[in-house]
Amino acid sequence: MAEAVHSRKVYWRVWFQLLMITVVEIIVAFLPISHYLMALLFTIMALMKATLIAAYFMHLKFEQVGLIYSIVLPLILIIALAAALIPDGSVALLMRLGLGYY
C-alpha cells in the first residue's frame, strides 16, 4: 500500500472544494431551469462530493485497486438496475395519471 500523506492542508483543500460544490448547488436551486436539468446537475454534484469524501476522508485514494473495484462495481450495478426499472415506473405513472395505455 502506498504511504498515505495526511496533512491538514489536504483536508482543508478538500473541505473547500466541498464547500464550493455546495455553493454551486444552492445557486442551481434558484436558477430558472427545467427540473430534469436541475436533477441531472444535482446528481452530478452529489457524485462529485461522494467521490471526494470517499477518496480523502475514507482514505480510499490510498487503497489498492481491488478494494476500490469492490466498492465501485456494486454501485454501477445498482445504478444499472435503477435505470432498467425506469420504463416500468414511467408506464405505471402514466397509467395512474390516466395518460397511459391499458
Of 19-23, 40-44, 90-94, 97-101, the poorest mean pLDDT is in: 97-101
Angle at which helix 35-52 crosses helix 8-29, to 10 degrees, equals 170
Domain range annotation of the chain: 1-63, 65-102
The CA-atom distances, in angstroms, between 54 and each of 8, 82, 96 are 17, 22, 39
Tell me the percentage of the chain whose pLDDT exceeds 70. 91
Query: pTM, whole model, 2 decimals?
Result: 0.64
Which amino acid would we find at residue 28? V
C-alpha to C-alpha distance for 17 and 20, rounded to whole angstroms: 5
Average pLDDT over residues 13-22: 96
Q: Read off the pLDDT of residues 48-88 as tens digits, 9 standing for 90 and up.
A: 999 899 888 877 777 777 777 787 888 899 999 999 988 88
pLDDT band at 5, cuts 50/70/90?
low
Whether 48 contacts 41, CB under 8 Å: no
